Amino acid sequence: MASNTLYILLCSGEHEKIQMAAMMASVAAVSERPVEVFVSMNAINAFAKGAPADKRYYGGAYSKLLKEKKAPDAMMLFQQGRELGDLKLWACSMALDVQGWELDKLEDGLFDDALGLTKFLSDAENGQFVTL
């Protein structure tokens, strides 16, 4: 595993943290840096298939401003990062289990697969790790 890989653990469902994760992941990926994002806890809800924008993004004082100014949609940024760079997204298998969800409950084409935390941590041992 390349040592410059950026690993992002996204667990907050707050809009501004999801936005920051999407910005970091997409910009790093298009800047020739491999990125892996592990989505767990409340953050997984933002990735539910077909969720309306007001349900998908909420919380945090910045959310209102991000919506008013029409900041780039976080799901679209993740998608662009995947298309234009080396970006992988993993859905935490525990978070899926506690919701009783399978991968097909999440937005199509965003996730590589479900993954356990043990494997993600092991892969991330030599990279840079960010938690949001």
Partner 1 sequence: MTREKIDARGAFCPGPLMELIAKLKLVNVGDEIEILSSDKGSANDIPEWVKKVHHEMVGISQQDGYWSIVVRKAK
Write down the residue that tokens 């910045």 correspond to.
62
Q: How far is the CB of 4 from partner 1 (least distance, A)?
A: 12
**How many alpha carbons lie under 13 Å from residue 55 in its C-beta half-sphere?**
8
- Contact assessment for residue 19 and residue 10, using Cβ atoms and an 8 Å cutoff: no
Q: How far is the CB of 85 from partner 1 (least distance, A)?
A: 8
**Nearest to partner 1 of 32, 104 (CB atom):** 32
Residue 52 per-residue DSSP state: -
Q: How far is the CB of 72 from partner 1 (least distance, A)?
A: 4
**Nearest to partner 1 of 35, 92 (CB atom):** 35
**Nearest to partner 1 of 65, 98 (CB atom):** 65
Q: At what angle do helices 15-30 and 74-84 cross, to 10 degrees?
A: 20
- 3, 47, 81 from 6: Cα distances, Å: 9, 20, 13
**Nearest to partner 1 of 71, 96 (CB atom):** 71
Q: How far is the CB of 115 from partner 1 (least distance, A)?
A: 26
**Nearest to partner 1 of 54, 70 (CB atom):** 70
Binding stretches for partner 1 (CB under 8 A): 23, 26-27, 30-32, 69-72, 77, 80, 83-84
* CA geometry: angle 37, 41, 43, nearest 5 deg: 60
Q: How far is the CB of 71 from partner 1 (least distance, A)?
A: 5
Give the total residue count for the chain: 132
